[in-house]
Amino acid sequence: MFFLISHPPLSFPSQTMQAARCPTDELSLTNCAVVSEKDLQSGQHVTVKTTPNHKFVFTVKTHHTVSAGSIAFSLPQRKWAGLSIGQEVEVSNYNFDKSKQCIGAMTIEIDFLQKKSTDSSPYDSDRMAAEFIQQFNNQSFSVTQQLVFSFCDKLFGLMVKDIEAMDASILKGEPASGKKQKIDIGLMVGNSQVIFEKAESSSLTLVGKAKTKEARQTIINPDWNFEKMGIGGLDKEFSAIFRRAFASRVFPPDIVEQMGCKHVKGILLFGPPGCGKTLMARQIGKMLNAREPKIVNGPEILNKYVGESEANIRKLFADAEEEQKRLGANSGLHIIIFDELDAICKQRGTGASSTGVHDTVVNQLLSKIDGVEQLNNILVIGMTNRPDLIDDALMRPGRFEVKMEISLPDEKGRVQILNIHTTKMRGFNLLAGDVDIKELAAETKNYSGAELEGLVRAAQSTAMNRHIKATSTVEVDMERAEKLQVTRDDFMGSLNNDIKPAFGTNQEDYASYIMNGIIKWGDPVTHVLDDGELLVQQTKNSDRTPLVAVLLEGPPHSGKTALAAKIAEDSQFPFIKICSPDKMIGSSEISKCQAIKKVFDDAYKSQLSCVVVDDIERLLDYVPIGPRFSNLVLQALLVLLKKAPPKGRKLLIIGTTSRKDVLQEMEMLDAFSTTIHIPNISTGEQLVDALELLGSFTDKERANIAHQLKGKRVWIGIKKLLVLIEMSLQMDQDYRVTKFLSLLRDEGA
């Protein structure tokens, strides 16, 4: 409820009065017309008729300096009513209908009264509204009325834009009916609502709820579509970028202000080559209703003349600076994209050049993004394959604070990418019906987006090559060319021969180690595979142990490498690499360390990785004579075996060795989480089981071998056993068993 306390208005006949200048500045701020107490009483409302067709309603205030017969107006009032000093006006009493003319809500346009007094400080619209109601309670207001308002020692020019009458149900103490009625003239009361709206092109900053929600164009282009833009497999990454970088720009600005939220001004995209970093950055500009992005290749910034490189950086931000000075918070979004960011933003103090040009470029970029006069209307997107080279200061919050790894696409992503690159062929019926995109996606594990595009191109080339006539001149067989279609065989041929993934799993690597399969000659082999599966599940599922390292140790030829390769293959991890000494023949110690480190660095880029470190004593150049080994490689392995992968990554390391005792002396065993012993075949029954699984001898021959070995102990590795069997099978059938048993004796098995 509210109460109006005022003297009952006196009815009086209209009288002619002369317009005068308001006697004091304080009275100008009251928004009242000032009269002599001989003519009217303070608080009365009057109609001032300036011409036969123009009437204005004012609330009056008395002051002793105003002479009888005069009515004084402030400058804004005279401008609004079109009054001049000394003009005669007709003044009559005005009575408000309290049931229809009480102000429910009033929208007021606000700006600084004088341009020289502008500032960028935020003004609380809620406090402003409360003070406005207190200052102007029980006064009349009209649409288009102009007045001056003092708040926080600043003068503001106001103009009434819209008045809405108070709901009559509320006046009766009943629930609101929800009906809204616009009126031209209203009376300000204690529970009126005042809403401030910033004047167009004003630099005033309003915060709080008592301000209008500015109509603004959505930042996201309504026609935006991932697949139409040629981006596939990056849904998850883009969702994360959107949440961090764009959500605050899409949300209503008043809520963002209430939260005290600042916009993200920098995004760093990093990851292996060919995974879509540059493509994604270029398409972000099309997705947003912003200006065309400025795309800069890092090396283009550098200039041999002193100061030119820094000037190039300043030019990139010049448009955004000018617009922010002119429009303030209303400025649009400016996007600047740096490709190959590591070329210009290397760690400061590391450059060999005496000019220090890289350092000054980094300093200039820092000052523009997050300096004293920082810009709030920019989004800087940087891309690099080497985030480790970039200066640390650029990575802190307020600069490139959103760091997003654009990694290899998963199977769902590969389906999207292949669909994008085959859309046109499908539309013109050039893609054969036997091409299954899902099958291709399953076969192209660890292919980057660029490699998948290359695969499609290679398949197209293979298909087109079929329609070229092999004559003395190169020409196309037009009759057959009209029936051109790219088939499944074209894709499979390109997959096997033309395009290989530069990153991740190379199936040929570990397939060669298990080409004869795994011979489960007894419980020891089954136990090793079961333990390996447990370790794989631990790596996948445990958050406490992102790094799992297991050592398979046993005598030579016991099948350690084959078992390690089998565990790795069955894990189905997206990244599997075998670090083997056969790929480092003739390499120096430093080259070996770099090669081993690269395998682990690549592994850290994948969500789930498995690295097989095969034949560790060979990697270490160990020989029993001396003894001698490479301490440099040993120290590198010790560090890498214990180094946990980055957050969110999981790594399984499987090591193999035939010299557990040597690793014990080198203090390397402690680097492994667990050790699994791989034994040789040790009984005749196990050997016969192995022969049965291999299917190399007949049932009669195996029975003969079993009889000869009954009750005897044997000791032979499965790998050596395979060699002896193949040698025996070269003999005539009558002598194969005899030869096999002879070879076993010769080997001391």
Tell me how far CA of residue 82 lies from CA of 17, 60, 645, 656, in angstroms. Answer: 16, 18, 77, 97
- List Cβ neighbours of 47 (8 Å cut-off, separation of 6 or more): 55, 56, 57, 91, 92, 93, 94
According to DSSP, the β-strands at 334-339 and 378-384 are parallel
- List Cβ neighbours of 664 (8 Å cut-off, separation of 6 or more): none
> Taking each helix axis from N to C terminus, what angle separates 560-571 and 523-541, rounded to the nearest 10 degrees?
40
74: closest CA among 94, 53, 59, 91?
59
Task: Confirm whether 286 is a catalytic residue.
Answer: no
If DSSP states are collapsed to H, E and C, what string results for 152-218? CCEEEEEEEEEEEECCHHHHCCCCCCCCCCECCEEECCCCCEEEEEECCCCCCEEECCCECCCCCCC
Active-site entry in 445, 560, 577, 605? 560
Task: Confirm whether 719 is a catalytic residue.
Answer: yes
Please provide residue 610's backbone torsions phi and psi, each rounded to the nearest 5 degrees.
Answer: -130, 125
Q: Express the helix, strand and coil content of the chain in percent, nearest 5 each.
A: 40, 20, 40
Cα–Cα distance for residue pair 447/440, rounded to 1 Å: 11
233: closest CA among 105, 410, 46?
410
According to DSSP, the β-strands at 54-62 and 474-476 are unpaired
The structure tokens listed for 328 are 């303030």
> Which DSSP category does 552 fall into?
E
Beta-ladder partners of 206: 123
Q: Is residue 235 within 8 Å of 415, Cβ to Cβ?
A: no
- Dump strand ranges (E) for 559-647: 575-579, 608-613
If DSSP states are collapsed to H, E and C, what string results for 443-501? HCCCCCHHHHHHHHHHHHHHHHHCCEEECCCEEECHHHHCCCCECHHHHHHHHHHCCCC
* Residue 166 burial class via C-beta count within 10 angstroms: exposed 0-12, middle 13-18, buried 19 and up: buried
Active-site entry in 615, 657, 689, 720? 615
Cα–Cα distance for residue pair 698/676, rounded to 1 Å: 34
Active-site entry in 209, 286, 540, 719? 719
Peptide bond into 627 cis (omega under 30): yes
Please provide residue 437's backbone torsions phi and psi, each rounded to the nearest 5 degrees.
Answer: -60, -40
According to DSSP, the β-strands at 334-339 and 294-297 are parallel
Active-site entry in 642, 643, 710, 712? 642
Task: Confirm whether 236 is a catalytic residue.
Answer: no
80: closest CA among 156, 155, 159, 146?
146
Beta-ladder partners of 92: 47
The structure tokens listed for 225 are 């579509």
Cα–Cα distance for residue pair 565/614, rounded to 1 Å: 10
The angle subtended at Cα 218 by Cα 214 and Cα 221, nearest 5°, is 165
The structure tokens listed for 249 are 């720009």
Active-site entry in 444, 561, 656, 657? 561
3-class DSSP state of 34:
strand
Active-site entry in 614, 650, 689, 720? 614
If DSSP states are collapsed to H, E and C, what string results for 103-163? EEEEEEEEEECCHHHCCCCEEEHHHHHHHHHHHCCCCEEECCCEEEEEECCEEEEEEEEEE
Task: Confirm whether 642 is a catalytic residue.
Answer: yes
672: closest CA among 660, 654, 658?
654
- List Cβ neighbours of 508 (8 Å cut-off, separation of 6 or more): none
Q: 10 Å Cβ neighbour count for 544? A: 5
Q: Is residue 435 within 8 Å of 460, Cβ to Cβ?
A: no
Q: Is residue 179 within 8 Å of 104, Cβ to Cβ?
A: no
3-class DSSP state of 17:
strand
Task: Confirm whether 523 is a catalytic residue.
Answer: no
Catalytic residues: 560-561, 614-615, 642, 719
